[in-house]
Amino acid sequence: MKHAVTLRVNGMDYPVELEGGTPLVRALRDHVGLMGTKEGCDDCECGACMVLVDDKPVNSCTYLALQTVGSEVTTVEGLADGDTLSALQSAFLDQGGVQCGYCTPGMLVSAHALLRRSPDPTEEEVRLALGGNLCRCTGYQKIASAVMQAAKG
């Protein structure tokens, strides 16, 4: 059964028609057309699909898209200001916090949420906040360093 709804993503309204069981990651990629959010394990484990729903990190592979009607969704595309990268995104480049890049959107979204709630975190807080994000290139040290650099501004 198709449900005609409006999703609000990165401050824009997107009219879409979704099946009742559509996970948010599929709605974002297939219907909204934003490809930054990645589908990794598809089992709520790896965090590649991390987005913000009303400013809170959520695994979009296991959250129903229709549950976000009436909420604000923020994806990795919403972190930059046009072509200007956020301080966090620039820090990932500076520190080499990217290897294959597949986990990077989820890492950025989780780290962005951390810095909003805790602007001056310890490295342990950074590692805990990224606990739900797996990097199979195992580049964790550079990712943690990037978040610390962004926090120090």
Partner 1 sequence: MGDVAFHTATTVAEALTLVGDGSDARVVAGGSDLMVGVRSGKSPLPGTVVAIHRIAELHGLGVVAGELRIAALASHAEICADADVCSGWTALADASALVGSHATRNVGTLGGNLMNASPAMETGGPLMVLGATVTLRSAAGDRAVPIEELWTGPGRTVASPGELCTGVVVPALPAHSGSAYVRLEYRRAMEIAIVGASACVTLDESGIVTSARVALTALAPTIIRSPAAEAAILGTDGDDAALDAVAAGASADARPISDLRANEDYRRAMAGVIAKRAVAVAAQRARGESFPIPATPVFMKGSV
Backbone angles phi, psi at 89, to 5 degrees: -65, -40
In the block, tokens 């729903």 appear at: 53
Contact string (CB under 8 A) for partner 1, positions 71-100, x = contact: ------------------------------
Q: Which two structure tokens, joined as six digits, stand for 38?
A: 């990645």
Please report, for residues 4, 54, 66, 107, the alpha-carbon distance to residue 79 in angstroms, rounded to integers and kept in the order given.
Answer: 27, 14, 23, 12
Chosen residue from 32, 34, 61, 115 binding partner 1 by CB under 8 A: 61
Query: Closest distance between partner 1 and the C-beta of residue 27, in Å?
Result: 11
Residues in Cβ contact with 110 at an 8 Å cutoff, skipping those fewer than 6 apart: 47, 50, 57, 129, 130, 132, 133
Asked whether position 3 contacts partner 1 by CB under 8 A, the answer is: yes
Asked whether position 131 contacts partner 1 by CB under 8 A, the answer is: yes
Chosen residue from 37, 59, 75, 89 binding partner 1 by CB under 8 A: 59
Query: Closest distance between partner 1 and the C-beta of residue 130, in Å?
Result: 8
**Separation of alpha carbons 26 and 13, rounded Å:** 17
**Separation of alpha carbons 46 and 132, rounded Å:** 6
Q: Please choose, out of 9-17, 78-86, 88-96, 128-136, the segment that lies near partner 1 by the rule CB under 8 A.
A: 128-136
Query: Closest distance between partner 1 and the C-beta of residue 17, in Å?
Result: 12
Binding site residues, partner 1, CB under 8 A: 1, 3, 19-23, 26, 42-45, 47, 50, 53, 56-59, 61-64, 66-67, 69-70, 110, 113, 128-129, 131-133
